[in-house]
């Protein structure tokens, strides 16, 4: 309920100009905005001129939505969000989408929540829209395969989730979106090649692929500046990403038994080779484990121009060789962020099986000085007391500091490690580290931030 203080008997909020009231109502669901029409005559039609509609019709009678849209009187919609199930609502759904397009909606968000219906096709008029600048489609079970040409001449940001896309349909979308700047493909299936060479304005690409999609995707994106591959399975081939300045690789491949001898060299390390111009790099823990296997197998790492490096990793010994080799090949590194996580990882049992398969002695591979680090996440949980865990984090920090020469700042973001007392112990340990070159160390835990004394780096 909207309330306000009274000034000379007049409600303060009600005295505000319509443009401000419209802005306020734009931040709540349309159903709640409509209820304000009961407050007074002043509020009776305010909602109907609000240039933003957010409708959840999963439990709403379609006739009620039709009535709502009939009362809507704003000449233009800046934002239209629709959350619906498809069951028995295909005809009204098309009319609701047409309503948004006819009112020149600049931001269009469509969420489908009925996985049982798989025969819905977007109408042809959906693919001709000169007003939309930001389009989000979370289809759940709907194919995004246009039967006509695509004309989204103002579109700058496109986010597709759980959509089925063919290579042909994807090319149609790209060719019809000449101003596209940002593209998100989240759990989308069936496309095998992302050729973005004809999209010179496209600077940001994010791909999140599901576990069950195992096809190899080739990425050709010579104009791209920022690439995020999150929770994506290998193999993924970077054909041309020569303009990249920022990359985020959280990639995994748990079935090591299917890997050939040349896989690490031709896929994992080759991805690093394609990132040689990147200055800001984020790497996930399982990809670090793959890099460790590459290092142990003697695969040479490329020299990188990275200045800011973030490692989202578990503190286990199977990431140490990969991190060490990575740091040795980033001579210009200035800032290192360690973001600890306790997520999924490749088991050491599988890692050792891979080493044996390639005639490598696992005892010799995991060096004795790394044996202080646990071999798995389960081992971490068996550490006795928080002192042991704080000592583990301190040793990990020291190990990484010894592997880099040019570092100026280290940031440690602790998530899932240490309670308050263990954190205080870590701060004390950090200040006692003695090295040769000054490095500023910033340690964070949850939303609380602590800064340790600056200490030198060896």
- Region 206-228 average pLDDT: 79
For residues 355 and 367, what is the distance between their CA atoms, to the nearest angstrom? 14
Ordered by where they begin, the domains of the chain are 251-448 (3.80.10)
pLDDT at 354: 78
Distance CA 307, CA 438 (A): 17
Q: Is the pLDDT of residue 338 over 90?
A: yes
Name the band, by pLDDT with cuts 50, 70 and 90, for residue 234.
Answer: low
Q: Report the share of the chain in percent with pLDDT over 90.
A: 30
- Is pLDDT at 128 greater than 90 in this prediction? yes
List, for residues 311-320, the tens digit of each pLDDT value: 999 888 889 9
pLDDT value of position 223: 96
Higher pLDDT, 254 or 24: 24
pLDDT at 165: 81
Please compute the mean of the pLDDT values over residues 83-109 and round it to a whole number.
83
pLDDT at residue 2 above 60?
no
Across 151-160, 165-174, 218-227, 264-273, least confident range? 264-273
404-433: pLDDT as tens digits: 888 999 999 988 777 778 888 888 887 766
257 confidence band (pLDDT: 50, 70, 90): low
- The predicted pLDDT at position 290 comes to 87
What per-residue confidence (pLDDT) applies to 447? 46
Residue 303 has pLDDT above 80, yes or no: yes
| Average pLDDT estimate for 80-104 | 81
pLDDT class for 196, splitting at 50, 70, 90?
very high
pLDDT at 53: 81
State the helix-helix crossing angle for 285-296 and 320-328, rounded to 10 degrees. 80
Confidence of residue 301 (pLDDT cuts 50, 70, 90): very high
pLDDT at 457: 42
Q: Is the pLDDT of residue 282 over 80?
A: yes
Determine the pLDDT at residue 293: 86
pLDDT > 70 fraction of the chain, expressed in percent and rounded: 71
Alpha-carbon distances, residue 339 vs 46, 147, 173, 284, 420 (angstroms): 47, 45, 37, 9, 18
Can you give the pLDDT at residue 84?
A: 82
Average pLDDT, the chain: 79
Please tell me the predicted confidence (pLDDT) of residue 158: 97
Q: How confident is the model at residue 243 (pLDDT cuts 50, 70, 90)?
A: very high
156 pLDDT band (50/70/90 cuts)? very high
Highest mean predicted confidence (pLDDT) among 38-42, 48-52, 358-362, 396-400: 396-400
Are the CB atoms for 373 and 396 separated by under 8 Å? Answer: yes
């Amino acid at each position: 309920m909207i309330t306000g203080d009274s000034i000379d008997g007049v409600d303060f909020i009600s005295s505000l100009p319509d443009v401000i009231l419209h802005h306020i109502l734009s931040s709540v669901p349309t159903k709640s905005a409509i209820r304000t029409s009961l407050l007074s005559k002043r509020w009776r039609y305010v909602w109907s001129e609000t240039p933003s509609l957010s409708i959840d019709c999963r439990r709403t009678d379609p006739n009620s939505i039709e009535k709502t849209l009939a009362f809507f009187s704003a000449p233009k919609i800046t934002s239209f969000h629709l959350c619906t199930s498809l069951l028995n609502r295909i005809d009204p759904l098309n009319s609701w989408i047409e309503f948004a397009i006819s009112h020149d909606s600049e931001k269009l968000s469509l969420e489908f929540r009925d996985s049982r219906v798989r025969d819905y096709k977007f109408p042809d008029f959906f693919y001709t829209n000169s007003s939309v600048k930001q389009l989000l489609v979370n289809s759940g079970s709907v194919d995004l395969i246009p039967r006509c040409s695509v004309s989204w001449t103002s579109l700058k940001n496109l986010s597709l989730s759980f959509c089925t896309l063919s290579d042909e349909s994807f090319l149609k979308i790209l060719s019809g979106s000449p101003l596209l700047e940002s593209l998100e493909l989240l759990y989308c299936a069936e496309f095998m090649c992302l050729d973005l060479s004809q999209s010179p304005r496209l600077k940001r690409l994010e791909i999140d692929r599901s576990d069950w999609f195992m096809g190899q995707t080739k990425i050709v994106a010579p104009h791209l500046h920022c690439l995020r591959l999150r929770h994506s399975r290998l193999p993924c081939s970077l054909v041309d990403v020569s303009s990249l300045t920022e990359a985020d690789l959280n990639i995994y491949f748990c079935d090591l038994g299917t890997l050939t001898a040349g896989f690490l060299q031709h896929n994992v390390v080759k991805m690093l080779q394609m990132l040689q111009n990147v200055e800001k790099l984020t790497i996930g823990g399982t990809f670090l484990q793959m890099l460790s296997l590459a290092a142990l197998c003697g695969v040479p790492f490329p020299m990188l121009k990275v200045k800011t490096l973030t490692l989202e990793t578990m503190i286990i010994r199977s990431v140490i060789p990969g991190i060490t080799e990575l740091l040795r090949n980033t001579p210009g590194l200035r800032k290192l962020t360690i973001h600890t996580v306790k997520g999924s990882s490749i088991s050491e049992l599988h890692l050792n099986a891979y080493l044996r398969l390639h005639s490598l002695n696992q005892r010799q591979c995991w060096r004795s000085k790394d044996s202080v680090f646990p071999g798995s996440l389960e081992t971490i949980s068996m550490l006795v007391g928080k002192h042991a865990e704080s000592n583990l984090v301190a040793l990990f920090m020291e190990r990484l500091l010894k592997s880099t020469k040019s570092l100026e700042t280290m940031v440690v973001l602790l998530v899932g490690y240490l309670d308050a007392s263990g954190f205080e112990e870590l701060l004390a340990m950090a200040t006692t580290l003695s090295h040769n070159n000054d490095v500023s160390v910033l340690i964070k835990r949850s939303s609380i931030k602590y800064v340790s004394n600056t200490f030198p780096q060896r």
